[in-house]
A and B are shown apart, each in its own frame.
Chain A
Amino acid sequence: MGDDKYLVEMLNIHKWFAGVCALRGVDFAIGYGEIVGLVGDNGAGKSTLIKILSGFYPPDEGKIFFEGEEKHFSSPREARKLGIETIYQEAAMVPKMSIMRNIFMGRELLSFRMGPVGYLDIPRMEEESMTALQKVDLKLRSPHALVDELSGGQRQGVAIARAMYFKSRLVILDEPTNNLSVKESQRVLEFIKELKKQGISSIFISHNLYHVYPVADRIVILSHGEKIGDFRKEETSVEEITRLMILP
Protein backbone atom coordinates (compact mmCIF):
# COMPACT_ATOMS: atom_id res chain seq x y z
CA MET A 1 0.00 0.00 0.00
CA GLY A 2 1.19 3.48 -0.77
CA ASP A 3 0.49 6.65 1.05
CA ASP A 4 -0.58 9.44 -1.25
CA LYS A 5 0.53 12.23 1.00
CA TYR A 6 3.90 11.61 -0.63
CA LEU A 7 4.78 12.26 -4.25
CA VAL A 8 7.15 9.32 -4.24
CA GLU A 9 7.52 6.59 -1.66
CA MET A 10 10.11 3.83 -1.79
CA LEU A 11 9.60 0.98 0.67
CA ASN A 12 12.06 -1.64 1.87
CA ILE A 13 14.44 -1.27 -1.07
CA HIS A 14 17.17 -3.90 -1.40
CA LYS A 15 19.87 -4.09 -4.06
CA TRP A 16 22.80 -6.46 -4.46
CA PHE A 17 25.69 -6.17 -6.90
CA ALA A 18 27.69 -9.34 -7.49
CA GLY A 19 27.08 -10.52 -3.94
CA VAL A 20 27.72 -7.13 -2.37
CA CYS A 21 24.73 -5.57 -0.67
CA ALA A 22 24.41 -1.96 -1.82
CA LEU A 23 21.06 -1.21 -0.18
CA ARG A 24 19.33 -3.11 2.61
CA GLY A 25 15.75 -2.25 3.41
CA VAL A 26 15.78 1.46 2.75
CA ASP A 27 12.52 3.44 3.08
CA PHE A 28 12.60 6.80 1.37
CA ALA A 29 9.83 9.32 0.69
CA ILE A 30 9.53 12.74 -0.91
CA GLY A 31 6.59 15.03 -0.23
CA TYR A 32 4.97 17.48 -2.64
CA GLY A 33 7.16 20.53 -3.20
CA GLU A 34 9.66 19.26 -0.69
CA ILE A 35 13.45 19.57 -0.93
CA VAL A 36 15.02 16.42 0.48
CA GLY A 37 18.73 16.37 1.15
CA LEU A 38 20.25 12.92 0.68
CA VAL A 39 23.61 12.71 2.38
CA GLY A 40 26.12 10.03 3.21
CA ASP A 41 29.74 9.16 2.69
CA ASN A 42 31.05 7.72 -0.58
CA GLY A 43 29.69 4.21 -1.06
CA ALA A 44 26.76 4.74 1.29
CA GLY A 45 24.28 3.80 -1.43
CA LYS A 46 23.04 7.27 -2.47
CA SER A 47 23.64 6.75 -6.19
CA THR A 48 22.18 3.26 -6.15
CA LEU A 49 18.98 4.50 -4.51
CA ILE A 50 18.67 7.32 -7.03
CA LYS A 51 19.39 5.10 -10.01
CA ILE A 52 16.58 2.81 -8.90
CA LEU A 53 14.24 5.77 -8.57
CA SER A 54 15.17 7.12 -11.99
CA GLY A 55 14.68 3.76 -13.68
CA PHE A 56 18.31 2.85 -14.49
CA TYR A 57 17.87 -0.48 -12.74
CA PRO A 58 15.14 -2.24 -10.79
CA PRO A 59 15.35 -2.98 -7.06
CA ASP A 60 15.95 -6.63 -6.10
CA GLU A 61 13.30 -6.23 -3.45
CA GLY A 62 10.94 -3.48 -2.36
CA LYS A 63 8.26 -1.27 -3.86
CA ILE A 64 8.06 2.17 -5.44
CA PHE A 65 4.90 4.27 -5.26
CA PHE A 66 4.26 7.40 -7.30
CA GLU A 67 1.33 9.43 -5.96
CA GLY A 68 0.18 6.36 -4.07
CA GLU A 69 0.29 4.05 -7.09
CA GLU A 70 2.78 1.22 -7.38
CA LYS A 71 5.22 1.59 -10.32
CA HIS A 72 7.82 -0.61 -11.96
CA PHE A 73 10.30 1.30 -14.08
CA SER A 74 12.11 -0.71 -16.70
CA SER A 75 13.97 2.27 -18.19
CA PRO A 76 14.81 5.90 -17.41
CA ARG A 77 12.35 6.84 -20.12
CA GLU A 78 9.43 5.49 -18.07
CA ALA A 79 10.49 7.37 -14.96
CA ARG A 80 10.78 10.52 -17.05
CA LYS A 81 7.27 10.06 -18.39
CA LEU A 82 6.02 10.46 -14.83
CA GLY A 83 8.10 13.62 -14.51
CA ILE A 84 11.10 12.28 -12.62
CA GLU A 85 14.10 14.08 -14.06
CA THR A 86 17.63 13.27 -12.96
CA ILE A 87 20.46 15.74 -13.42
CA TYR A 88 23.83 14.06 -13.32
CA GLN A 89 26.78 16.35 -13.20
CA GLU A 90 28.71 15.23 -16.24
CA ALA A 91 25.88 13.47 -17.96
CA ALA A 92 23.28 16.21 -18.14
CA MET A 93 24.53 18.06 -21.18
CA VAL A 94 26.21 17.54 -24.53
CA PRO A 95 29.05 20.10 -24.41
CA LYS A 96 29.46 20.51 -28.16
CA MET A 97 25.79 21.27 -28.72
CA SER A 98 24.03 24.59 -28.30
CA ILE A 99 22.04 25.47 -25.19
CA MET A 100 18.83 25.34 -27.19
CA ARG A 101 19.56 21.94 -28.66
CA ASN A 102 20.48 20.65 -25.21
CA ILE A 103 17.28 21.90 -23.63
CA PHE A 104 15.13 20.20 -26.24
CA MET A 105 17.30 17.09 -26.70
CA GLY A 106 14.97 14.11 -27.06
CA ARG A 107 11.89 16.37 -26.76
CA GLU A 108 12.31 18.60 -29.79
CA LEU A 109 9.57 21.04 -30.77
CA LEU A 110 8.45 20.25 -34.30
CA SER A 111 6.65 22.22 -36.99
CA PHE A 112 5.56 19.07 -38.78
CA ARG A 113 6.54 15.47 -39.36
CA MET A 114 7.65 13.87 -42.61
CA GLY A 115 7.39 10.15 -42.06
CA PRO A 116 10.13 9.12 -39.69
CA VAL A 117 11.65 12.54 -39.10
CA GLY A 118 10.27 15.77 -37.70
CA TYR A 119 11.09 19.29 -38.89
CA LEU A 120 12.49 21.34 -36.01
CA ASP A 121 10.60 24.50 -35.09
CA ILE A 122 13.78 26.48 -34.47
CA PRO A 123 12.23 29.94 -33.92
CA ARG A 124 9.92 28.55 -31.23
CA MET A 125 12.73 26.58 -29.58
CA GLU A 126 14.87 29.74 -29.52
CA GLU A 127 12.11 31.72 -27.89
CA GLU A 128 11.11 29.02 -25.40
CA SER A 129 14.68 28.32 -24.32
CA MET A 130 15.26 32.01 -23.55
CA THR A 131 12.02 32.11 -21.53
CA ALA A 132 13.02 28.96 -19.66
CA LEU A 133 16.42 30.42 -18.81
CA GLN A 134 14.90 33.68 -17.60
CA LYS A 135 12.73 31.72 -15.16
CA VAL A 136 15.83 30.64 -13.28
CA ASP A 137 17.28 34.13 -13.70
CA LEU A 138 20.02 32.95 -16.04
CA LYS A 139 21.09 35.63 -18.45
CA LEU A 140 22.85 34.09 -21.40
CA ARG A 141 23.74 35.81 -24.64
CA SER A 142 22.13 33.50 -27.09
CA PRO A 143 20.39 30.12 -27.17
CA HIS A 144 22.96 29.12 -29.80
CA ALA A 145 26.00 29.42 -27.53
CA LEU A 146 27.67 26.07 -26.94
CA VAL A 147 27.25 24.50 -23.50
CA ASP A 148 31.03 24.03 -23.64
CA GLU A 149 31.43 27.77 -23.09
CA LEU A 150 29.32 27.85 -19.91
CA SER A 151 30.59 27.62 -16.34
CA GLY A 152 29.70 24.60 -14.20
CA GLY A 153 27.07 26.59 -12.31
CA GLN A 154 25.49 27.89 -15.50
CA ARG A 155 25.25 24.34 -16.81
CA GLN A 156 23.36 23.27 -13.70
CA GLY A 157 21.13 26.29 -14.28
CA VAL A 158 20.38 25.21 -17.83
CA ALA A 159 19.62 21.65 -16.66
CA ILE A 160 17.27 22.97 -13.97
CA ALA A 161 15.61 25.35 -16.41
CA ARG A 162 15.06 22.37 -18.69
CA ALA A 163 13.47 20.35 -15.88
CA MET A 164 11.15 23.26 -15.06
CA TYR A 165 10.23 23.87 -18.66
CA PHE A 166 9.14 20.27 -19.11
CA LYS A 167 7.02 20.44 -15.95
CA SER A 168 8.92 17.82 -14.02
CA ARG A 169 7.36 16.67 -10.77
CA LEU A 170 10.57 15.57 -9.13
CA VAL A 171 14.09 16.76 -9.95
CA ILE A 172 16.98 14.66 -8.70
CA LEU A 173 20.27 16.55 -8.49
CA ASP A 174 23.33 14.35 -8.15
CA GLU A 175 26.15 16.29 -6.50
CA PRO A 176 25.18 19.55 -8.24
CA THR A 177 27.71 21.64 -6.35
CA ASN A 178 30.71 19.36 -6.87
CA ASN A 179 33.76 21.15 -8.27
CA LEU A 180 32.01 24.52 -8.19
CA SER A 181 33.33 27.73 -6.68
CA VAL A 182 31.60 29.11 -3.59
CA LYS A 183 29.81 31.75 -5.61
CA GLU A 184 28.70 29.26 -8.26
CA SER A 185 27.45 26.86 -5.58
CA GLN A 186 25.32 29.65 -4.16
CA ARG A 187 23.77 30.15 -7.61
CA VAL A 188 22.90 26.47 -7.78
CA LEU A 189 21.24 26.63 -4.35
CA GLU A 190 19.15 29.55 -5.64
CA PHE A 191 18.09 27.43 -8.61
CA ILE A 192 16.95 24.69 -6.25
CA LYS A 193 14.88 27.15 -4.19
CA GLU A 194 13.32 28.29 -7.45
CA LEU A 195 12.15 24.71 -8.07
CA LYS A 196 10.39 24.68 -4.71
CA LYS A 197 8.65 27.99 -5.48
CA GLN A 198 7.19 26.32 -8.56
CA GLY A 199 5.93 23.43 -6.45
CA ILE A 200 8.46 20.94 -7.85
CA SER A 201 9.89 18.40 -5.43
CA SER A 202 13.62 17.82 -5.46
CA ILE A 203 16.25 15.49 -4.08
CA PHE A 204 19.60 17.08 -3.47
CA ILE A 205 22.39 14.55 -3.19
CA SER A 206 25.69 15.66 -1.80
CA HIS A 207 28.42 14.69 0.58
CA ASN A 208 28.77 18.36 1.46
CA LEU A 209 26.32 18.85 4.30
CA TYR A 210 26.95 22.58 4.38
CA HIS A 211 25.44 22.89 0.91
CA VAL A 212 22.45 20.69 1.65
CA TYR A 213 21.50 22.00 5.07
CA PRO A 214 20.51 25.60 4.19
CA VAL A 215 18.06 24.60 1.41
CA ALA A 216 16.70 21.21 2.46
CA ASP A 217 13.35 20.77 4.23
CA ARG A 218 14.31 17.29 5.32
CA ILE A 219 17.59 15.42 5.47
CA VAL A 220 18.04 11.68 4.97
CA ILE A 221 21.31 10.03 5.91
CA LEU A 222 22.52 6.77 4.37
CA SER A 223 25.40 4.72 5.64
CA HIS A 224 26.60 1.33 4.37
CA GLY A 225 23.35 0.79 2.46
CA GLU A 226 21.04 1.58 5.34
CA LYS A 227 19.07 4.61 6.35
CA ILE A 228 20.42 5.82 9.67
CA GLY A 229 18.61 9.12 9.94
CA ASP A 230 15.60 11.00 8.59
CA PHE A 231 15.02 14.43 10.11
CA ARG A 232 12.99 17.51 9.45
CA LYS A 233 15.49 20.32 9.41
CA GLU A 234 13.95 21.97 12.50
CA GLU A 235 14.50 18.79 14.52
CA THR A 236 18.20 18.52 13.89
CA SER A 237 21.47 20.40 13.53
CA VAL A 238 24.52 20.21 11.31
CA GLU A 239 26.47 18.81 14.26
CA GLU A 240 24.08 15.94 14.87
CA ILE A 241 24.03 14.92 11.23
CA THR A 242 27.79 15.14 10.92
CA ARG A 243 28.12 12.88 13.94
CA LEU A 244 25.80 10.33 12.34
CA MET A 245 27.57 10.51 8.99
CA ILE A 246 30.99 9.73 10.37
CA LEU A 247 29.85 6.86 12.59
CA PRO A 248 31.73 3.72 11.60
Chain B
Amino acid sequence: MAQGLVSFFRRIILLREISSLVMLLAVVLVFFAISPLFLSWENIAVILEIIPELGIVALGVTMLMISGEFDLSVGSVFAFCPIIMTMFVVWGFSPLLSVIIALLVAMLLGALNGFITLFFGIPSFITTLGAMLIWRGAVLLVTGGWPPPFPTEMSTGILVGKLGFLRASIFWYGAIAVLLWFILERTDFGNWVFATGGNQVAARAMGVDTQRVKFINFMLCSLLAGFAGLIQSFRLATTLPSMGTGLEMDAIAATVIGGTALSGGVGTVIGTVIGAFLIRVIDNGLVIVRAPSYWFRVFIGIAIILAVILNSFVRERTKKLRC
Protein backbone atom coordinates (compact mmCIF):
# COMPACT_ATOMS: atom_id res chain seq x y z
CA MET B 1 0.00 0.00 0.00
CA ALA B 2 2.67 2.46 1.09
CA GLN B 3 4.78 1.22 -1.80
CA GLY B 4 1.96 1.87 -4.25
CA LEU B 5 1.50 5.35 -2.84
CA VAL B 6 5.20 6.17 -3.22
CA SER B 7 5.24 4.88 -6.76
CA PHE B 8 2.10 6.90 -7.52
CA PHE B 9 3.74 10.09 -6.25
CA ARG B 10 6.90 9.30 -8.14
CA ARG B 11 4.94 9.07 -11.37
CA ILE B 12 3.17 12.34 -10.64
CA ILE B 13 6.44 14.15 -9.91
CA LEU B 14 7.95 12.81 -13.13
CA LEU B 15 5.15 14.34 -15.21
CA ARG B 16 6.70 17.05 -17.34
CA GLU B 17 3.97 19.62 -16.63
CA ILE B 18 3.66 19.07 -12.90
CA SER B 19 5.89 21.84 -11.58
CA SER B 20 4.14 24.51 -13.61
CA LEU B 21 0.74 23.16 -12.59
CA VAL B 22 1.65 23.20 -8.90
CA MET B 23 2.94 26.76 -9.20
CA LEU B 24 -0.19 27.86 -11.02
CA LEU B 25 -2.46 26.38 -8.36
CA ALA B 26 -0.37 27.92 -5.57
CA VAL B 27 -0.49 31.36 -7.18
CA VAL B 28 -4.23 31.12 -7.78
CA LEU B 29 -4.82 30.11 -4.14
CA VAL B 30 -2.67 32.93 -2.78
CA PHE B 31 -4.43 35.58 -4.87
CA PHE B 32 -7.82 34.11 -3.99
CA ALA B 33 -6.93 34.17 -0.29
CA ILE B 34 -5.97 37.83 -0.48
CA SER B 35 -8.88 38.88 -2.65
CA PRO B 36 -11.87 36.61 -3.32
CA LEU B 37 -12.63 38.94 -6.20
CA PHE B 38 -9.84 37.18 -8.05
CA LEU B 39 -12.00 34.16 -8.83
CA SER B 40 -15.14 36.12 -9.72
CA TRP B 41 -16.64 35.41 -13.13
CA GLU B 42 -15.82 38.92 -14.26
CA ASN B 43 -12.15 38.51 -13.46
CA ILE B 44 -11.91 35.03 -14.96
CA ALA B 45 -13.37 36.50 -18.15
CA VAL B 46 -10.68 39.19 -18.07
CA ILE B 47 -7.91 36.60 -17.73
CA LEU B 48 -9.33 34.51 -20.58
CA GLU B 49 -9.48 37.66 -22.67
CA ILE B 50 -5.79 38.51 -22.33
CA ILE B 51 -4.35 35.02 -22.33
CA PRO B 52 -4.66 33.98 -26.01
CA GLU B 53 -2.27 36.64 -27.27
CA LEU B 54 0.68 35.51 -25.15
CA GLY B 55 -0.49 31.90 -25.27
CA ILE B 56 -0.51 31.59 -29.06
CA VAL B 57 2.93 33.20 -29.38
CA ALA B 58 4.30 30.86 -26.71
CA LEU B 59 2.96 27.80 -28.57
CA GLY B 60 4.96 28.73 -31.66
CA VAL B 61 8.04 29.42 -29.56
CA THR B 62 7.60 25.99 -27.94
CA MET B 63 7.46 24.12 -31.25
CA LEU B 64 10.59 25.88 -32.43
CA MET B 65 12.43 25.45 -29.13
CA ILE B 66 11.71 21.70 -29.03
CA SER B 67 13.33 21.43 -32.45
CA GLY B 68 16.36 23.21 -31.01
CA GLU B 69 16.03 26.83 -32.15
CA PHE B 70 15.01 30.22 -30.76
CA ASP B 71 12.91 33.07 -32.01
CA LEU B 72 13.42 36.41 -30.31
CA SER B 73 11.66 38.31 -33.10
CA VAL B 74 8.11 37.19 -32.19
CA GLY B 75 7.36 40.44 -30.34
CA SER B 76 8.34 42.52 -33.37
CA VAL B 77 6.41 40.33 -35.81
CA PHE B 78 3.48 40.64 -33.40
CA ALA B 79 3.52 44.40 -34.05
CA PHE B 80 4.56 44.24 -37.72
CA CYS B 81 1.74 41.96 -38.89
CA PRO B 82 -1.17 44.25 -37.84
CA ILE B 83 0.61 47.24 -39.38
CA ILE B 84 0.86 45.40 -42.71
CA MET B 85 -2.81 44.52 -42.44
CA THR B 86 -3.80 48.13 -41.78
CA MET B 87 -1.62 49.39 -44.62
CA PHE B 88 -3.23 47.08 -47.14
CA VAL B 89 -6.72 48.07 -46.00
CA VAL B 90 -5.77 51.74 -46.38
CA TRP B 91 -4.50 50.98 -49.90
CA GLY B 92 -7.97 49.69 -50.74
CA PHE B 93 -7.59 45.93 -50.41
CA SER B 94 -10.50 44.03 -48.85
CA PRO B 95 -10.09 43.41 -45.10
CA LEU B 96 -10.04 39.62 -45.51
CA LEU B 97 -7.39 39.77 -48.22
CA SER B 98 -5.34 42.19 -46.08
CA VAL B 99 -5.44 39.76 -43.16
CA ILE B 100 -4.29 36.92 -45.39
CA ILE B 101 -1.46 39.03 -46.84
CA ALA B 102 -0.38 40.09 -43.35
CA LEU B 103 -0.27 36.45 -42.21
CA LEU B 104 1.72 35.47 -45.29
CA VAL B 105 4.18 38.26 -44.55
CA ALA B 106 4.55 36.98 -40.97
CA MET B 107 5.26 33.50 -42.32
CA LEU B 108 7.74 34.94 -44.78
CA LEU B 109 9.62 36.68 -41.96
CA GLY B 110 9.84 33.30 -40.22
CA ALA B 111 11.10 31.72 -43.43
CA LEU B 112 13.75 34.42 -43.61
CA ASN B 113 14.85 33.67 -40.03
CA GLY B 114 15.00 29.99 -40.94
CA PHE B 115 16.88 30.51 -44.17
CA ILE B 116 19.53 32.78 -42.63
CA THR B 117 20.01 30.53 -39.61
CA LEU B 118 20.17 27.26 -41.51
CA PHE B 119 21.94 28.36 -44.70
CA PHE B 120 24.71 30.27 -42.96
CA GLY B 121 24.77 27.93 -39.98
CA ILE B 122 24.62 30.71 -37.41
CA PRO B 123 22.84 30.57 -34.04
CA SER B 124 19.15 31.44 -34.29
CA PHE B 125 19.62 33.53 -31.16
CA ILE B 126 21.70 35.94 -33.27
CA THR B 127 19.52 35.79 -36.39
CA THR B 128 16.34 36.49 -34.50
CA LEU B 129 17.91 39.10 -32.22
CA GLY B 130 18.77 40.95 -35.43
CA ALA B 131 15.31 40.32 -36.84
CA MET B 132 13.74 41.61 -33.62
CA LEU B 133 15.54 44.94 -33.97
CA ILE B 134 14.96 45.16 -37.73
CA TRP B 135 11.19 44.57 -37.67
CA ARG B 136 10.62 46.74 -34.61
CA GLY B 137 12.58 49.44 -36.42
CA ALA B 138 10.52 48.87 -39.55
CA VAL B 139 7.30 49.26 -37.57
CA LEU B 140 8.47 52.58 -36.17
CA LEU B 141 9.69 53.76 -39.59
CA VAL B 142 6.42 52.90 -41.32
CA THR B 143 4.23 54.49 -38.67
CA GLY B 144 6.51 57.33 -37.67
CA GLY B 145 5.82 56.23 -34.11
CA TRP B 146 2.11 57.06 -34.34
CA PRO B 147 -0.60 54.43 -34.52
CA PRO B 148 -2.20 54.50 -37.98
CA PRO B 149 -5.98 54.88 -37.90
CA PHE B 150 -7.57 51.49 -37.40
CA PRO B 151 -9.71 50.76 -40.44
CA THR B 152 -13.36 51.20 -39.50
CA GLU B 153 -14.50 48.77 -42.18
CA MET B 154 -12.75 45.89 -40.37
CA SER B 155 -15.11 43.30 -38.97
CA THR B 156 -13.32 41.94 -35.93
CA GLY B 157 -15.97 39.47 -34.77
CA ILE B 158 -14.37 36.30 -36.06
CA LEU B 159 -11.24 36.77 -33.93
CA VAL B 160 -12.39 38.70 -30.88
CA GLY B 161 -16.21 38.81 -30.98
CA LYS B 162 -18.04 38.24 -27.71
CA LEU B 163 -19.66 34.86 -27.20
CA GLY B 164 -21.46 35.14 -23.89
CA PHE B 165 -18.81 36.37 -21.50
CA LEU B 166 -15.94 34.92 -23.55
CA ARG B 167 -14.19 36.28 -26.59
CA ALA B 168 -13.71 34.25 -29.76
CA SER B 169 -9.93 34.50 -29.30
CA ILE B 170 -9.95 31.96 -26.46
CA PHE B 171 -11.50 29.40 -28.81
CA TRP B 172 -8.85 30.10 -31.43
CA TYR B 173 -6.23 29.58 -28.75
CA GLY B 174 -7.85 26.31 -27.65
CA ALA B 175 -8.09 25.06 -31.22
CA ILE B 176 -4.47 25.91 -32.01
CA ALA B 177 -3.28 24.28 -28.77
CA VAL B 178 -5.20 21.06 -29.51
CA LEU B 179 -3.94 21.02 -33.10
CA LEU B 180 -0.30 21.50 -32.07
CA TRP B 181 -0.62 18.93 -29.27
CA PHE B 182 -1.93 16.49 -31.83
CA ILE B 183 0.84 17.23 -34.32
CA LEU B 184 3.55 16.96 -31.69
CA GLU B 185 2.36 13.83 -29.92
CA ARG B 186 0.53 11.86 -32.57
CA THR B 187 2.13 12.47 -35.95
CA ASP B 188 5.36 11.58 -37.70
CA PHE B 189 6.22 15.27 -38.00
CA GLY B 190 6.01 15.57 -34.20
CA ASN B 191 8.41 12.67 -33.85
CA TRP B 192 10.84 14.44 -36.19
CA VAL B 193 10.56 17.66 -34.15
CA PHE B 194 11.60 15.86 -30.96
CA ALA B 195 14.32 13.92 -32.77
CA THR B 196 15.73 17.06 -34.40
CA GLY B 197 16.02 18.89 -31.11
CA GLY B 198 17.05 15.84 -29.10
CA ASN B 199 19.97 14.67 -31.23
CA GLN B 200 20.23 16.24 -34.64
CA VAL B 201 23.05 13.97 -35.80
CA ALA B 202 21.09 10.82 -34.97
CA ALA B 203 17.92 12.20 -36.53
CA ARG B 204 19.74 13.02 -39.74
CA ALA B 205 21.45 9.65 -39.79
CA MET B 206 18.01 8.01 -39.58
CA GLY B 207 16.80 9.97 -42.57
CA VAL B 208 14.94 12.82 -40.86
CA ASP B 209 15.25 16.04 -42.86
CA THR B 210 16.19 18.13 -39.83
CA GLN B 211 16.71 21.34 -41.81
CA ARG B 212 13.20 21.12 -43.20
CA VAL B 213 11.72 20.44 -39.76
CA LYS B 214 13.42 23.54 -38.36
CA PHE B 215 12.48 25.67 -41.34
CA ILE B 216 8.81 24.73 -40.99
CA ASN B 217 8.90 25.53 -37.27
CA PHE B 218 10.50 28.93 -37.91
CA MET B 219 7.62 29.74 -40.26
CA LEU B 220 5.00 28.34 -37.89
CA CYS B 221 6.40 30.33 -34.95
CA SER B 222 6.37 33.58 -36.89
CA LEU B 223 2.93 32.91 -38.35
CA LEU B 224 1.47 32.36 -34.88
CA ALA B 225 3.16 35.52 -33.58
CA GLY B 226 1.60 37.51 -36.43
CA PHE B 227 -1.80 35.90 -35.82
CA ALA B 228 -1.63 36.76 -32.11
CA GLY B 229 -0.70 40.33 -33.06
CA LEU B 230 -3.83 40.56 -35.22
CA ILE B 231 -5.93 39.32 -32.30
CA GLN B 232 -4.55 42.01 -30.02
CA SER B 233 -4.96 44.79 -32.55
CA PHE B 234 -8.55 43.65 -33.23
CA ARG B 235 -9.27 43.54 -29.52
CA LEU B 236 -7.90 47.04 -28.93
CA ALA B 237 -9.10 48.30 -32.34
CA THR B 238 -5.74 49.97 -32.88
CA THR B 239 -2.27 49.12 -34.15
CA LEU B 240 0.20 50.51 -31.66
CA PRO B 241 3.82 50.47 -32.86
CA SER B 242 4.85 49.44 -29.33
CA MET B 243 2.65 46.33 -29.31
CA GLY B 244 4.40 43.16 -28.23
CA THR B 245 7.46 44.85 -26.77
CA GLY B 246 9.04 42.34 -24.40
CA LEU B 247 6.59 39.68 -25.50
CA GLU B 248 9.42 37.40 -26.70
CA MET B 249 10.67 37.17 -23.12
CA ASP B 250 7.22 36.35 -21.73
CA ALA B 251 6.75 33.72 -24.44
CA ILE B 252 10.10 32.09 -23.71
CA ALA B 253 9.28 32.29 -19.99
CA ALA B 254 5.92 30.54 -20.52
CA THR B 255 7.66 27.86 -22.58
CA VAL B 256 10.44 27.21 -20.10
CA ILE B 257 8.10 27.30 -17.10
CA GLY B 258 6.02 24.68 -18.89
CA GLY B 259 8.95 22.28 -18.97
CA THR B 260 10.43 22.78 -22.43
CA ALA B 261 14.20 22.42 -22.44
CA LEU B 262 16.12 25.46 -23.67
CA SER B 263 18.44 23.05 -25.49
CA GLY B 264 15.56 21.37 -27.34
CA GLY B 265 14.28 17.83 -27.60
CA VAL B 266 11.96 18.04 -24.63
CA GLY B 267 8.72 19.91 -24.10
CA THR B 268 4.95 19.78 -24.15
CA VAL B 269 2.11 21.90 -25.46
CA ILE B 270 0.11 21.48 -22.24
CA GLY B 271 3.06 22.71 -20.18
CA THR B 272 3.31 25.86 -22.27
CA VAL B 273 -0.43 26.50 -21.93
CA ILE B 274 -0.03 26.25 -18.15
CA GLY B 275 3.05 28.48 -18.31
CA ALA B 276 1.16 31.15 -20.24
CA PHE B 277 -1.71 30.98 -17.74
CA LEU B 278 0.74 31.33 -14.86
CA ILE B 279 2.23 34.49 -16.34
CA ARG B 280 -1.11 36.09 -17.09
CA VAL B 281 -2.56 35.07 -13.72
CA ILE B 282 0.35 36.71 -11.91
CA ASP B 283 -0.07 39.77 -14.13
CA ASN B 284 -3.77 40.05 -13.39
CA GLY B 285 -3.61 38.92 -9.75
CA LEU B 286 -1.18 41.68 -8.81
CA VAL B 287 -3.66 44.22 -10.13
CA ILE B 288 -6.54 42.63 -8.25
CA VAL B 289 -4.67 42.60 -4.93
CA ARG B 290 -3.45 46.14 -5.70
CA ALA B 291 0.21 45.33 -5.47
CA PRO B 292 2.54 47.64 -7.39
CA SER B 293 2.82 46.23 -10.92
CA TYR B 294 6.61 46.28 -10.64
CA TRP B 295 6.27 43.01 -8.79
CA PHE B 296 5.22 41.37 -12.04
CA ARG B 297 8.77 41.00 -13.39
CA VAL B 298 10.03 39.85 -10.00
CA PHE B 299 7.49 37.05 -9.75
CA ILE B 300 7.98 35.89 -13.34
CA GLY B 301 11.71 35.76 -12.71
CA ILE B 302 11.22 33.65 -9.61
CA ALA B 303 8.76 31.38 -11.44
CA ILE B 304 11.22 30.69 -14.28
CA ILE B 305 14.07 29.73 -11.99
CA LEU B 306 11.83 27.69 -9.71
CA ALA B 307 10.31 25.81 -12.65
CA VAL B 308 13.66 24.84 -14.09
CA ILE B 309 14.95 23.74 -10.68
CA LEU B 310 11.85 21.62 -10.17
CA ASN B 311 12.14 20.22 -13.69
CA SER B 312 15.76 19.23 -13.62
CA PHE B 313 17.03 18.90 -10.06
CA VAL B 314 13.95 17.43 -8.40
CA ARG B 315 13.17 15.17 -11.35
CA GLU B 316 16.66 13.72 -11.40
CA ARG B 317 16.48 13.06 -7.67
CA THR B 318 13.08 11.43 -8.01
CA LYS B 319 14.25 9.23 -10.88
CA LYS B 320 16.95 7.78 -8.66
CA LEU B 321 14.34 6.65 -6.12
CA ARG B 322 13.78 3.26 -7.67
CA CYS B 323 10.47 1.79 -6.62
Q: Which residues of A contact B186 (CB under 8 A)?
A: 119-120, 122
What size tier do the contact residues of chain B reach? 20 to 34
Does A104 count as interface, using CB distance less than 8 angstroms? yes
Q: Which residues of A contact B201 (CB under 8 A)?
A: 88, 90-91
Compute how far the CA of A120 lies from the CA of B198 in the bound complex, rounded to whole angstroms: 19
Determine which of B194, B205, B261 lies in contact with A97 in the assembled complex, contact meaning CB atoms within 8 Å. B194
Q: Which residues of A contact B261 (CB under 8 A)?
A: 96
Known: A96-B198, A117-B183, A120-B186. Is A88-B205 also a contact (CB below 8 A)?
Answer: yes
Q: Which residues of A contact B8 (CB under 8 A)?
A: none
Query: What are the interface flags for A97-118 relative to B under an 8 Å C-beta threshold, 1 for contact and 0 otherwise?
Result: 1000100111110100000111
Does B152 count as interface, using CB distance less than 8 angstroms? no
Within the complex, the shortest CB–CB distance from A161 to chain B, in Å, comes to: 14
In the complex, the answer to whether A96 meets B265 with C-beta atoms within 8 Å is: yes
**Closest residue of chain A to B267, judged by CB?**
A96
Determine which of A106, A122, A149 lies in contact with B207 in the assembled complex, contact meaning CB atoms within 8 Å. A106
In the complex, the answer to whether A94 meets B205 with C-beta atoms within 8 Å is: no
**Closest residue of chain A to B199, judged by CB?**
A94
**Closest residue of chain B to A92, judged by CB?**
B202
Does B168 count as interface, using CB distance less than 8 angstroms? no
DSSP majority for the B interface?
helix
In the complex, the answer to whether B187 meets A97 with C-beta atoms within 8 Å is: no
Contact residues of B between 204 and 229, Cβ < 8 Å to A: 204-208
In the complex, the answer to whether A91 meets B195 with C-beta atoms within 8 Å is: no
Q: Which of B201, B202, B204 has most A Cβ within 10 Å?
A: B202
Does B266 count as interface, using CB distance less than 8 angstroms? yes
Query: What are the interface flags for B166-201 relative to A under an 8 Å C-beta threshold, 1 for contact and 0 otherwise?
Result: 000000000000000001001111111011001101
Does A93 count as interface, using CB distance less than 8 angstroms? yes
In the complex, the answer to whether B205 meets A120 with C-beta atoms within 8 Å is: no
In the complex, the answer to whether B266 meets A105 with C-beta atoms within 8 Å is: no
In the complex, the answer to whether B205 meets A86 with C-beta atoms within 8 Å is: yes
Compute how far the CA of A76 lies from the CA of B198 in the bound complex, rounded to whole angstroms: 19
Does B37 count as interface, using CB distance less than 8 angstroms? no
Compute how far the CA of A116 lies from the CA of B198 in the bound complex, rounded to whole angstroms: 22
In the complex, the answer to whether A104 meets B189 with C-beta atoms within 8 Å is: no
Compute how far the CA of A86 lies from the CA of B201 in the bound complex, rounded to whole angstroms: 12
Does B203 count as interface, using CB distance less than 8 angstroms? yes
Known: A91-B201, A94-B203, A97-B198. Is A105-B191 also a contact (CB below 8 A)?
Answer: yes
Does A124 count as interface, using CB distance less than 8 angstroms? no
Does A63 count as interface, using CB distance less than 8 angstroms? no
Compute how far the CA of A32 lies from the CA of B187 in the bound complex, rounded to whole angstroms: 37
Told that A96-B266, A105-B206 touch, could you supply 16 new A-B pairs with CB distance under 8 A?
A86-B205, A88-B202, A88-B205, A91-B199, A91-B202, A91-B205, A92-B202, A93-B202, A94-B198, A94-B202, A95-B199, A96-B265, A101-B191, A106-B195, A107-B206, A120-B187
Interfacial residues, chain B to chain A (CB-CB below 8 A):
183, 186-192, 194-195, 198-199, 201-208, 261, 265-266, 319
A-B contact pairs, 9 of them (CB 8 A): A90-B201, A91-B201, A94-B203, A95-B198, A101-B191, A105-B208, A106-B203, A120-B190, A149-B319
Closest 10 CB pairs of A and B: A94-B198, A106-B206, A106-B207, A108-B188, A91-B201, A117-B187, A94-B199, A118-B188, A106-B208, A117-B189
